[in-house]
Amino acid sequence: MAISRRYKSRVRKAVRVGLPALGLAVLCLAGLSTVGAERYVSSRIVPELEARLGARIDVAGIGAVPGSVTLYGVRLTPRGASGPAFTASRIVARYSVVGLLAGRKVDFLAAEDARILVSRSDAGGVGPLAAMLRRNLERGGGRSGGRSATSTLPEIRLTDGRISVHDHRGLHVEALAEASVSRGGAVRLVASSMRVRGTGAEALTIGEVVASFDLRPRTGTRLDSIRLSAAEPRLIVREVGQELELSRLARLGRELAAEILGDARIDSAERQTAGGAIRVQLHQGSVEAGRGSEHLALQDIHGWIAPDTRRDTLALSLRGLVDDGSPWELEAEIDLGASSGLGRFQIEDLPLEAVRVHLPALPLDAGEGTRLGANVQLRYDGASGRLGLDGRVTADRMAVVSSSIASEPLRDLGLEVSGKGAIWLRTMEVAVSDARVSLNGVPFLVHGDLDRSGGLPRITLDITLPPTPCGTLLRSMPSALVANLGGMTLDGVFGADLHLALDMARPRQTDVRFDVGNACRLVSEGALASIERLRGPFMQHASSAGEPVEFLTGPGSPSWTPYEEISPHLIGAVLTTEDGGFFGHHGFSAESIRQAIIRDLREGRFVVGGSTISMQLVKNVFLTNEKTLARKLQEAVLTWMLEQSMGKEEILELYLNVIEYGPSLYGIRNAAEHFFGVQPADLTPIQAVYIATVLPDPVRRYGTFLRGSVSEAQLERLHRILRLMNARGRLEGPLDEALSQPLVFRGAGSVAERRSLTDGDSALQ
């Protein structure tokens, strides 16, 4: 009877594998000396393992009893490694005759007090231990025919172990470990007290990581589950290495914090091997993370992750839901060696409340039902640290809460930003090109950059508002921004271009230019801001030294002084000190705005606003003194309306009759009589200049009048203004005569006034 080739192969294998193993069993079962068994292990088994693994195995001692062999002081050093990748104080191997005849040299293997070191020494290669395991897995996987590799696996136990992982990028992982492998190929790994540390970062401690694998070839290598629980669920990054590209945040004095709340799970994940890469398929995964009482939960995560250790790359495609049901997608290809990659992120209808804690400190109200969306392409270059962005971000029903913008929240904002930009994460430089910003349907074109490489930032910004219907512009503004414009209607179109070049290290070189194409027409005034009411007597409501003041003014009122009855010296002095281009502009002065920005930057706070006389008048008769963006916007619209409705002399006449000249002292007639006992028409040049100099801060500068005279320094400043008036053709009469005139007050105030008001000498220096 012919014997098949396959049967002969099995016989030869049984003889090759079974006889040496049977010899060891016979030695022990026959009760021979343990010295023989020890010699057999050291001379046959250990060399055979060294040849198969490609590693040197050092054993300090061997002990044998019937049915088991114990190795003491085991050290395994892969070929090419500088030190051992595995050590164990004791390894116990148990065997049986039945197992030996079945091809299993060992039925049960237990390692105690084991140390495993996994390292990557460079960006392109793998550590010695990983290379050794890869060679043996590939060798085992290449066998065809016969029983599977897992059918000859022993049952393996690892107790009291420790794992150390060192990555070439500076990542360090230390953990206590226990592991088991069943004869069927089921693997279970438990890592506890895991500490993960990056370059310069505090360690993240994870209480326990449990991973289960299935090595059976009929199902493919399978990752059943990973479960992480945080023992110390807080990671604070104060200084992170350049590989993570976040070190600048620490230099800004900021502190990043993240917490793992509960568990992060990857359930029913399948690992498929193809072309040397590992592909992890995820189904119904979930992750929950947050800070304090706020958290973000991602549910129903599915997709795949494909790390390739040969190419040192990572590819992934994931999608899922935020805990409120908002869908998201993430695709990326990352070159780990070069720290570069590209990807795409998309999310729809995400509530701001779900991610508020993870965003920068922005003045947004998460309780207003704001919904976010994004579809962004990302490209990162590790060599330059450049993160490129191209896509679209939206925010609906957004609410902004900021006392510097408006006294009331800005509600129901719709924002859409699309275009291209880049952030250099190492230097925190920002560049925006071809960006289109739409706010409540009104489009703006934005181009600019922020450069921090020289220390203090340099900003270049160009904003264009294409010609837009004026009514559309007004209706697009939140009510909190235009509170005093209610009821106003406009037609026509409006467009503008703004250029700003600002170097914080050289504020005097600030360049501000704007070009306005204003073809708006006023159809009807608002109920709260009516120009017509200013053409006759009206009640003016103001505030002086924090106290409310009410007085009657306007043409026809008892204290009103017409323009032609006001001294030309006062007109010239006010134009010189307050608004030199008043008769040449249409309510706005680019140079005044530029100078105001320079001074504010130099002082480090809001000092002046670059207001013209027209803008100051609008602030006095229509608005309050609050320093907000909303007030400046309303001031601009009302200034335009004022300039459209009144002549320049009419505006200046109204201005001089309603502004404050001292505590509860309003109108030029009252001021001239109070300070000098004369009518406005009779003011001398030096008297007119003095009155003009108190206008910026009338309450504080009233102290000079209480003192009864000006100091030498104050008088010199008044003379400088007289010389400037003369140089600009605003002084009537000889300069010498004006300089020779004395400044004599009508009389000082009461003793009580002197005690309640601060002397204003320094304010006039």
Q: Cα torsion at 596, 597, 599, 602 (round to 10°)?
A: 170
More confident residue, 211 or 406: 406
What pLDDT score was predicted for residue 229? 46
What pLDDT score was predicted for residue 670? 94
What pLDDT score was predicted for residue 721? 94
pTM over 0.85: no
Place of tokens 């007289």: 722
Please determine, for residue 216, whether its predicted confidence score (pLDDT) is greater than 90.
no
Q: Using 50, 70 and 90 to split pLDDT, how confident is the model at 610?
A: low
183-193 residue pLDDT tens:
766 777 788 77
Can you tell me the mean pLDDT for 6-16?
A: 46
Do the beta carbons of residue 324 and residue 295 sit within 8 Å?
no
Do the beta carbons of residue 667 and residue 549 sit within 8 Å?
no
- Which stretch of 264-278, 364-378, 499-513, 569-583 has the lowest confidence by average pLDDT? 264-278
Can you tell me the mean pLDDT for 35-50?
A: 76
Closest CA to 31 of 56, 4, 65: 65
Please determine, for residue 16, whether its predicted confidence score (pLDDT) is greater than 50.
no
437-471 residue pLDDT tens:
999 999 999 999 988 877 788 899 999 999 999 99
What pLDDT score was predicted for residue 199? 57
- Which stretch of 122-126, 374-378, 545-549 has the lowest confidence by average pLDDT? 122-126
Report percent pLDDT > 90 for the chain.
Answer: 24
Rounded CA gap, 699 and 543, in Å?
Answer: 11
Q: How many helices (H) and strands (E) does the chain have?
A: 19, 31
AA letter at 297? A
704-743 residue pLDDT tens:
899 999 999 999 999 999 999 999 999 998 999 989 999 9
Report percent pLDDT > 70 for the chain.
Answer: 70
H helix runs in 451-558, sequence order: 470-476
HSE-up of 291 (CA within 13 Å, CB side)? Answer: 12
Q: Using 50, 70 and 90 to split pLDDT, how confident is the model at 689?
A: very high
Residue 362 CB neighbours (<10 A): 10
Rounded CA gap, 564 and 471, in Å?
Answer: 38
CA distances to 151, 531, 548, 664 from 543, rounded to whole Å, are 92, 21, 4, 8
636-664 residue pLDDT tens:
888 888 888 899 999 999 999 999 999 99
List the end-to-end C-alpha distance of the chain, in Å, as a whole number.
125
Angle at 539 between CA 537 and CA 541, to 5 degrees: 145
What pLDDT score was predicted for residue 632? 84
Rounded CA gap, 350 and 328, in Å?
Answer: 9
Reading the block at residue 420, the tokens are: 């291209």
More confident residue, 173 or 344: 344
More confident residue, 118 or 192: 192
Q: What are phi and psi of 120, to 5 degrees?
A: -125, 115
Q: Using 50, 70 and 90 to split pLDDT, how confident is the model at 4?
A: very low
* Sign of the C-alpha dihedral computed for residues 673, 675, 680 and 682 taken in this order: positive
CA distances to 129, 688, 717, 759 from 698, rounded to whole Å, are 82, 14, 17, 12
What pLDDT score was predicted for residue 622? 87
471-524 residue pLDDT tens:
999 889 888 888 888 888 899 999 999 888 888 888 778 887 878 888 888 888
Q: What's the whole-number average pLDDT of the chain? A: 75
Please determine, for residue 291, whether its predicted confidence score (pLDDT) is greater than 60.
no
262-275 residue pLDDT tens:
333 444 444 444 44
Rounded CA gap, 717 and 690, in Å?
Answer: 10
49-91 residue pLDDT tens:
778 777 888 888 888 877 788 889 888 888 777 778 888 888 8
What pLDDT score was predicted for residue 717? 94
Reading the block at residue 126, the tokens are: 């793998």
